[in-house]
């Protein structure tokens, strides 16, 4: 886990070393354990190191091969690096370190760009092929690790975070108005290669870019998934599917525990994180000779308000496993002190204050460990969001499975009645607040198609990439590596291949997971249907602790002059919410967040370096 950045000058001008150093400073939080720079006329790359595997100087970056024809900067982890080292050694490759970074160099020597299909992990890297005068940039299959790029002054620039690219005098100085409006209207971001900064793009998940000596920029997708559209399993398939799921999940967890530094676990009290905690505990018990030093550290967010607090579920897991527990108590007043750093670390505005709980958990975890495992991705993989029920029922109805559709509808009402009421209210509240926007807003359909279509879109574009953006930034803000075992590509491919009733059955979400962990995870958690995750009392804070700050923002001259919204109408809407006349929705937070973002990154951006 690290920070990377670089410049490939295609115009014939040498790279700008002072600019590279400034880019390095802006992502120093991603790698406090070391820094490095390599430059050679038209190419320059920098690296900020967070040492996780092979802590010696042998694993320092930029890393080169034996004849110095390849130079690599890498952010992430190749979890199957030990297996690949064995394979590559049999093919004649000689290793000088015990790092997963060196595996990428030798894999590229052996297989070229097809090396990406060999890796199991999370990665964003840039590899300079000196012989072919080609820059090879790649991002992992699901987009767990970030990689941004831009072109200016005849040069190709890349970086782990947008703020590093903004060090250039011409990059990221204007907002991408269309994407800002999409975010305000729908809370949508990271669903395309465009960012909210004009001229700055992201390498999409499962894509690589080749920048050639002929000044071409070639983009290619190297991996995809196919989500099974079939509705029904055979009854005898249930035990087999659950068994296969558990084998893959256990193996993913084991791989994700490979580290030369302490590892912890994010524990929300929900189904996904509780399952990970129990599995990790079993793994530790098998391999640790000392029950004290082998004890798992867990990190949780708790609240005084019982509507948002999950302490009772967290305590069930603590009692079962005996793990160490570290709890943090996010509150609205502390948020006032933290919000600007939270925004700075994310580079782009964020859709809701749920992110703040995750931020607080990562901060607490960083005091004890350098790596955490988290349950991110399970909802998109296993149809954990209640809105997926709509797609499922609609698909059954359209294909003539009316009895099954009625069963699903009855199950949805039985298990999720309270949430359905809230959801219907939110649909109208959000639609009303979208009328406060100015300009043309592109439609954004998350649940338009069948369940298989909705799951595919959420996994590759419409939801998971945005959540992984949060995962990366909230952890790296504290120089902490976050790992997500549910997104092991083998598990993703397997679950995607399952029929829909292995994901939703009679209103029960994540069916195959619940089946697989019976007897492993306590029943009070295994049978939970009230999804929360690291939630926050956003509405309460917006009415109380954040009230004065929100009014200052909405009534400010800069907010009143923006072209994105009817400022007077926003103020009136917020006041009606404060007076209890209308319902809350997160659009109100997004108005304020975009204003703060514009002030920080556009109105008065950080000092930039003029390119030479």
**Among 368, 70, 26, residue whose Cα is nearest residue 164:** 26
List of long-range contacts for 551-558, beta carbons under 8 Å, 24+ apart: 553/592, 553/595, 553/596, 554/591, 554/592, 556/595, 558/595, 558/598, 558/599, 558/603
* β-strand pairing of 34-40 with 508-509: unpaired
CB within 8 A of 236, min separation 6: which ones? none
The residues with which 152 forms a beta bridge, in sequence order, are 155
**Among 196, 124, 200, 204, residue whose Cα is nearest residue 459:** 204
Length of the chain: 612
Residue 491 CA to residue 515 CA, distance in Å, equals 16
Residue 188 CA to residue 349 CA, distance in Å, equals 10
137 is a catalytic site residue: no
Question: Percentage helix, strand, coil, to 5, in the chain?
Answer: 45, 15, 35
φ/ψ of 546, rounded to 5, equals -95, 0
Check 2, 115, 360, 593 and give the catalytic one.
2
Measuring CA to CA, how many Å separate 225 from each of 141, 303, 453? 10, 39, 11
Q: Retrieve residue 567's tokens.
A: 């400022």
In the DSSP assignment, the letter for residue 348 is S
Whether the CB-CB separation of 508 and 527 falls below 8 Å is answered with no
Whether the CB-CB separation of 173 and 602 falls below 8 Å is answered with yes
Residue 313 CA to residue 277 CA, distance in Å, equals 13
Residue 101 CA to residue 63 CA, distance in Å, equals 8
Tell me if residue 434 falls in helix, strand or coil: helix
Whether the CB-CB separation of 252 and 495 falls below 8 Å is answered with no
Residue 302 CA to residue 286 CA, distance in Å, equals 31
**Among 367, 385, 280, residue whose Cα is nearest residue 326:** 367
CB within 8 A of 260, min separation 6: which ones? 51, 52, 53, 54, 55
Q: Which residues are catalytic?
A: 2
């Amino acid at each position: 886990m690290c920070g990377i950045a670089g410049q490939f000058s295609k115009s014939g001008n040498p790279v700008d070393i002072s600019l590279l150093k400034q880019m390095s400073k802006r992502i120093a939080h991603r790698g406090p354990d070391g820094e490095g720079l390599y430059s050679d006329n038209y190419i320059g790359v920098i690296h900020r190191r967070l040492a996780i595997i092979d802590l010696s100087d042998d694993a320092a970056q930029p890393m080169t091969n034996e004849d110095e024809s390849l130079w690599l900067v890498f952010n992430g982890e190749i979890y199957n690096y030990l297996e690949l080292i064995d394979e590559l050694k049999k093919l004649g490759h000689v290793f000088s370190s015990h790092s997963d970074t060196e595996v990428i160099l030798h894999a590229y020597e052996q297989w070229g760009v097809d090396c990406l299909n060999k890796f199991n992990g999370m990665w964003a890297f840039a590899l300079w092929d000196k012989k072919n005068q080609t820059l090879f940039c790649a991002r992992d299959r699901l987009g767990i690790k970030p990689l941004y790029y831009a072109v200016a002054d005849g040069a190709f620039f890349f970086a782990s975070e947008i703020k590093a690219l903004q060090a250039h005098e011409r990059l990221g100085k204007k907002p991408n108005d269309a994407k800002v409006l999409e975010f305000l209207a729908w809370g949508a971001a990271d669903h395309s290669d465009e960012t909210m900064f004009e001229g700055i793009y992201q390498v999409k998940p499962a894509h690589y870019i080749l920048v050639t000596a002929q000044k071409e920029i070639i983009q290619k997708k190297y991996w995809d998934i196919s989500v099974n559209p079939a509705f029904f399993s055979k009854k005898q398939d249930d035990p087999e599917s659950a068994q296969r799921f558990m084998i893959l999940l256990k193996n993913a967890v084991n791989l994700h525990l490979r580290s030369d530094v302490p590892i912890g676990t994010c524990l929300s009290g929900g189904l996904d994180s509780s399952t990970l905690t129990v599995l990790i505990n079993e793994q530790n018990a098998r391999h640790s000779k000392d029950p004290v030093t082998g004890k798992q550290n867990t990190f949780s967010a708790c609240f005084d308000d019982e509507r948002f607090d999950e302490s009772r579920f967290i305590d069930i897991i603590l009692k079962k496993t005996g793990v160490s527990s570290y709890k943090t108590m996010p509150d609205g007043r502390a948020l006032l002190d933290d919000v600007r750093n939270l925004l700075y670390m994310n580079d782009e505005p964020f859709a809701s204050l749920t992110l703040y709980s995750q931020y607080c958990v990562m901060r607490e975890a960083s005091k004890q460990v350098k790596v955490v495992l988290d349950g991110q991705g399970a909802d998109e993989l296993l149809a954990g969001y209640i809105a997926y029920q709509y797609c499922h029922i609609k698909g059954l109805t359209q294909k003539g499975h009316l009895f099954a559709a009625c069963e699903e509808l009855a199950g949805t009402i039985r298990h999720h009645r309270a949430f359905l009421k809230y959801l219907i209210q939110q649909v109208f509240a959000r639609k009303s607040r979208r009328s406060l926007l100015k300009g043309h807003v592109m439609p954004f359909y998350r649940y338009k198609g069948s369940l298989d279509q909705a799951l595919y879109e959420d996994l590759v574009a419409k939801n998971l990439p945005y959540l992984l953006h949060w995962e990366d930034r909230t952890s790296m803000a504290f120089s902490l590596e976050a790992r997500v075992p549910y997104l092991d590509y083998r598990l993703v491919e397997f679950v995607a291949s399952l029929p829909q009733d292995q994901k939703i059955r009679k209103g029960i979400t994540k069916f195959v997971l619940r089946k697989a962990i019976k007897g492993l995870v306590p029943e009070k958690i295994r049978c939970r249907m009230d999804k929360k995750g690291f939630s926050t009392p956003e509405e309460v804070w917006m009415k109380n602790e954040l009230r004065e700050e929100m009014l200052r923002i909405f009534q400010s001259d800069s907010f009143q002059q923006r072209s994105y919204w009817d400022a007077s109408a926003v103020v009136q809407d917020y006041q009606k919410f404060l007076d209890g006349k209308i319902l809350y929705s997160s659009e109100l937070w997004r108005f304020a967040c975009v204003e703060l973002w514009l002030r920080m990154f556009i109105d008065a951006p950080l000092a930039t370096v003029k390119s030479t």
